[in-house]
Amino acid sequence: MQTTTGKVINQLRLNERIEQLSQIGRISETGVCRLALTPEDMDGIIQVRLWMENAGLTTRLDPFGNLIGRLEGADQALPILMIGSHIDSQPYGGRYDGAIGVLGALEAVQCLIENGIQPHMPIEVIAFCDEEGSRFNKGLFGSRGITGQLEEGELERQDKNGVTRREALEAFGCSPSDFEEAIYPPGSIDSYLELHIEQGPVLEALNAPVGLVTGISGPLWLTVTMKGMAGHAGSVPMGMRHDALVGSAKVIAAFDDMVREDPEAPTVGTVGSLRVFPDSRNIIPEEVSFTVDLRDMEIERRNRLEARLMNILDDLSFRYGLTYSLTEDTNSEPRYCAEPIKSVIRSSAEEIGLTLPELMSGPFHDALALSLVCDYGMIFVRSKDGISHHPSEYSSPEDIGLGTEVLYRTIRRMCSGMNQPIILPEEAL
């Protein structure tokens, strides 16, 4: 069991904020639904913005829907240190995913202010818009937005109610016509830090409260649409059917088998959403759309699996007399954390008696988008039973506090330009 000493952050304040934010969009005793650019999301932003301003940060809501709190540095010409995550959630999500990264960053920067520490460079705490991608089927919107990575047609993406992202942004008070001026110029962001729950079982298996992230696997998101022919369920003989749902089911099962072939590989694959038309008990399905999520830390292996999936689609479409089309929603290569930042995080953890295990991230995070324009580092907090994207998601206040303490000490070292330990009064140890 590791022991820790000398905590600086205000654990009680952090706990209360996490709990208070969890009441916004609450759907069960522990469940949260704050979909991006909804009234619940805005309520969350209003609350976090108030906390930022009370802490002494100047705030703004940018055209992409990002909430940004800024602490000026001694030299405002220096590139900024950016810290953050997101507060939007899955439709059936938990209290901690994203939220601890925003509130932990705020707590860490507030501690700098309360201790009379002005950073050399400006610091920005950001709650990024639509990290999850659950509403418009493409995530990292805010972090890709500020880094100039948005793609054609993103504003016309629709949610399940037919609302476009453009309409949702405008209802949120954001103007897409101002996107260009909200993009950060090259070189203006020095580094990015993100605190996040692990969303997996590794740290719990190692009995470690906090971990050091080495990199983020590359996600490939596809939407596949298979088309056949509708007909009466009672009159069309089985041999004459072109059943899009049966063909889709065969593809999904073959995809799952393929991804499982090498149990030693970190590859994961998921089909998490499926739509059937006309969606009637006694009509043969004519059209089925389903999502594919394929991730791996080795891009070559992921590419090979993608090619095999295309062969599966060709073979099974022919066998069941179907046609298919697909769209690519997300395609990112694996990105690795910067060694100098990892070194600072390790040293910061050692100050309080923590040795951090190192692990990769299967889920993507806003850090993935930031990694294309600056160095980044990530800190993981242990997840009970490895559960996330579910109301039973849980990380203990003690573990979140330790992760936030490591974040605070990392920020303090980085914003002073010196990798020096924090010396506390004897009574704090």
Over the stretch 144-162, which tens digit does the pLDDT of each residue have?
999 999 999 999 999 999 9
Check whether 425 has a pLDDT greater than 60.
Answer: no
Contacts of 160 (CB under 8 A, 6+ apart): none
**What is the average pLDDT value for the chain, to the nearest integer?**
94
HSE (side-chain half, CA atoms, 13 Å) at 136: 26
pLDDT for the residue numbered 429: 34
Contacts of 164 (CB under 8 A, 6+ apart): 155, 156, 157, 158
Element (H, E) at 375: strand 375-381
Mean pLDDT of 236-264: 97
Check whether 423 has a pLDDT greater than 90.
Answer: no
pLDDT for the residue numbered 7: 84
Check whether 3 has a pLDDT greater than 70.
Answer: no
pLDDT for the residue numbered 417: 62
Check whether 5 has a pLDDT greater than 60.
Answer: no
Over the stretch 170-204, which tens digit does the pLDDT of each residue have?
999 999 999 999 999 999 999 999 999 999 999 99
In CATH, the number for domain 11-217+334-428 is 3.40.630.10
Cis peptide before 186 (omega within 30 of 0): no
Exposed / middle / buried, residue 43 (Cβ in 10 Å: 0-12, 13-18, 19+): middle
Q: From 384, 389, 326, 410, select the one nearest 131 (Cα to Cα).
A: 389
Report DSSP state, residue 238: G
Do 11-217+334-428 and 218-331 agree at the fold level?
no
Q: CATH second-level architecture of 218-331?
A: 2-Layer Sandwich (3.30)
Which percentage of the chain shows pLDDT scores above 70?
96
Structure tokens at 300: 């070559």
Residue ranges per domain, the chain? 11-217+334-428, 218-331
d(CA 365, CA 369): 8
Mean pLDDT of 206-213: 98
Exposed / middle / buried, residue 405 (Cβ in 10 Å: 0-12, 13-18, 19+): buried
Mean pLDDT of 7-20: 96
pLDDT for the residue numbered 278: 98
pLDDT for the residue numbered 219: 87
Over the stretch 375-407, which tens digit does the pLDDT of each residue have?
999 999 999 999 999 999 999 999 999 999 999
pTM: predicted TM-score of the whole model, two decimal places: 0.83
Q: Which residues pair with 37 in a beta bridge?
A: none
Report DSSP state, residue 266: -
Over the stretch 55-98, which tens digit does the pLDDT of each residue have?
999 999 999 999 999 999 999 999 999 999 999 999 999 999 99
Check whether 164 has a pLDDT greater than 50.
Answer: yes
Mean pLDDT of 44-65: 98
d(CA 390, CA 330): 23
- Kindly tell me the sign of the dihedral angle through the C-alpha atoms of 320, 326, 330, 332: positive
Over the stretch 305-338, which tens digit does the pLDDT of each residue have?
999 999 999 999 999 999 999 999 889 888 999 9
